[in-house]
Structure 1
Amino acid sequence: MENFKTIREVASLWKKDKQQYVKQSSLSAYSLILENHILPAFGEKQQLAESEIQDFALRKLQEGLSQKTVKDMLIVLKMIQKFGVKMGYMPLTEWCVKYPTEQKKQELEVLSISHQRRIMQYVINNFTFRNLGIYVCLSTGMRIGEVCALKWGDINLTTETISVCRTIERIYIIEDNHRHTELVIGTPKTKNSVRDIPMSHELSKLIRPLKKVMNDDYYILTNEANPTEPRTYRNYYKCFLKQLGIPDLKFHGLRHSFATRCIESQCDYKTVSVILGHANISTTLNLYVHPNMEQKKKCINKMFKTLK
């Protein structure tokens, strides 16, 4: 083991190599996982043992982290090990982590139809540019970073579409022992997230008179050359809901509400997936397609009719 490097050393070399291929925001997320979780647990080790990784995963779950969060950590650890083995910095050790069975599937938080209607009508009656952003999200399923980065020039009145081609996010920059945050405007989450979304007639009617007199280079939430950042807009949204007397709902719940309304309206799943910018349709199916008991009964009855 004399020629092997520690996980900390391998991770540092892996990050330098990885930054050539991934977005700055992705590298930032990897860095946070490393600094906060992986390096404190494994940093000084030269090889990984399955029992230690299993204990690490269970400990993180007991601390209240979700299985997805823990799995994301282990994905980063796997990538570091793969890089280390390939470069001859560490030995190959096979490991497979087991997770406790999740007893209850977490329900998606979405607006009720009555609350969604109330919000959309309120925006029409009480127009501000920030309120418009909430209406846009409920009409298109855009993410908060995408709507914060939306410019008037991204709206095409001829085709009645909105082009999603950038996003804003505040990321952590870790340099040696110094940490700071930085607001970054970049490309959306994945290549599928770059998309054109049709506007509803209602949204088009709301935007059309504004678009004609606006500067295409201005952001729609501020109507200025400078954007608002997601954290600031999220705080505004919380106050907005409180003002309307609507129960607290995460901003991402607007996206979930849009998708849920689409599925409830029997839109085909592939179309919904493309509008949302999901990497594949399975993400849409897993998140939003949950047949109720009535649908299950109809399915079984239909099957038996074919037997007769």
Structure 2
Amino acid sequence: MPKKGENIYKRKDGRWEGRYIRGRKNNRAVYGYVYGQTYHEVKEKQRFAVQNLTQMSGNRTHEQYTLRMVADKWFYHTKPQVKESTYRKYQNVWTWYIEPALGNMPVSQLRNQHIESFCTELRVSGGVKKSGLSAGTVTAAVFLLRSMLHLAVKLDISVSCDLQAVTVRQEQTDIRVFTHNEQAVLCRYLLSNFSLKNAGILLCLFTGIRVGELCALRWENICLQDRVLCVQHTMQRIQTDTPFDQKTKVMITSPKSKHSIRVIPLPEDFAKLLASIQPESSSGFFLTGKA
């Protein structure tokens, strides 16, 4: 599927094709072409081709840089520094929210009022259903814009707005917590219908581990003799190469932060309960018993 303004298409043979203007003849555009196996491979080749033309012509001034051009440089520099899941999240925020609204705007003409209007529009009518986005998502967009403009300053590109002055109001929401009675009812049901899945729910209840950490947990991470479990990994489902195909893959990576790698004590009664279902092999996943 082509993305408006980018001239990148998926061909019938499964490859991606990108075109760019490499010159003009008789006032008509002359196109160059690049090819690749994925959308992002072609986009990067296209970006390098345009960049090389720009360097050769020497005609572009920093005042002519659009936010999209700065974003291309930012993604190129950022990709090796962050986890793949984080990189995909940045791409989605850029592709779905920032680029359509601000991608074509010259950075030198970007003002605080543009950003504030952009944030208001996202909060009021953003998203697929046009029902507005959460404050957290809009804050992520502002963070991304701030990082990109910080790179623009490093590249001596004129930046006239101060995103430190742009804030997104965070709404405080009440956290729903089980009462003692609700917890007792849940535990009775899980114990009377005991299974690996229900043991996982109990484990989350007793230790506070995240769902992704539970999915990545292996029996080898649990020491029943010492009654502890070690959280070392998390499981995530992320998008693959392009936001348009909506294909995903499962990844097991390090937890959210280095502080998330931790050792958690287990209640004695629960450790005994786990011992009754511990498989012979300690190399399998906790929820399935399979490697």
Answering whether residue 137 of structure 2 is matched by residue 69 of structure 1, we say: yes
CA distance in 2, matches of 1:190, 1:34: 23
The 5 Å alignment of 1:132-143 reads: 132-143=199-210
**Which residue in 2 is equivalent to 1:26?**
86
**What's the offset of the Cα at 1:5?**
2.2
Asked if the contact 1:168–1:184 (Cα under 8 Å) also holds between the matched residues in 2, the reply is yes
**What's the offset of the Cα at 1:101?**
8.1
The 5 Å alignment of 1:105-124 reads: 105-124=172-191
Asked if the contact 1:7–1:44 (Cα under 8 Å) also holds between the matched residues in 2, the reply is yes
Answering whether residue 157 of structure 2 is matched by residue 97 of structure 1, we say: no
Q: Partner of 1:163: helix, strand, or coil?
A: strand
**Which residue in 1 is equivalent to 2:44?**
none
Asked if the contact 1:10–1:89 (Cα under 8 Å) also holds between the matched residues in 2, the reply is no
**What's the offset of the Cα at 1:171?**
0.8
**What's the offset of the Cα at 1:132?**
0.8
Q: 1:2 aligns with which of 46, 61, 64?
A: 61
**Which residue in 1 is equivalent to 2:149?**
81
**Which residue in 2 is equivalent to 1:197?**
264
**What's the offset of the Cα at 1:89?**
4.3
Q: Partner of 1:20: helix, strand, or coil?
A: helix
Answering whether residue 96 of structure 2 is matched by residue 36 of structure 1, we say: yes
Q: Quick one: percent identity of the two aligned structures? A: 29
Q: Give TM-score scaled by structure 2 length.
A: 0.71
Larger gyration radius, structure 1 or structure 2: 2
CA distance in 2, matches of 1:101, 1:108: 15
Structure 1 unaligned segments of length 5 or more: list them: 226-308
Decide whether aligned partners of structure 1 residues 86 and 155 sit closer, same or farther in structure 2, where only a CA change above 3 A counts.
same
Q: Give TM-score scaled by structure 1 length.
A: 0.67
Following TM superposition, the consecutive aligned residue runs of length 4 or more in structure 1 with deviations greater than 6 angstroms are none
CA distance in 2, matches of 1:152, 1:123: 20
CA distance in 2, matches of 1:118, 1:66: 33
CA distance in 2, matches of 1:29, 1:14: 14
CA distance in 1, matches of 2:89, 2:195: 34
Q: Partner of 1:19: helix, strand, or coil?
A: helix
Q: How many residues align?
A: 222
**Which residue in 2 is equivalent to 1:129?**
196
Q: Partner of 1:170: helix, strand, or coil?
A: strand
Q: 1:13 aligns with which of 60, 73, 79?
A: 73
**What's the offset of the Cα at 1:116?**
1.4
Q: Which has the higher strand share?
A: 2
**What's the offset of the Cα at 1:173?**
2.9
Q: Partner of 2:277: helix, strand, or coil?
A: helix
Root-mean-square deviation (Å):
2.0
**Which residue in 2 is equivalent to 1:281?**
none
* Larger RCO (alpha carbons 8 Å, 6+ apart): 1
Decide whether aligned partners of structure 1 residues 16 and 129 sit closer, same or farther in structure 2, where only a CA change above 3 A counts.
same
The 5 Å alignment of 1:144-163 reads: 144-163=211-230
Q: Which has the higher helix share?
A: 1
Q: 1:186 aligns with which of 237, 242, 253?
A: 253
Q: Partner of 1:168: helix, strand, or coil?
A: strand
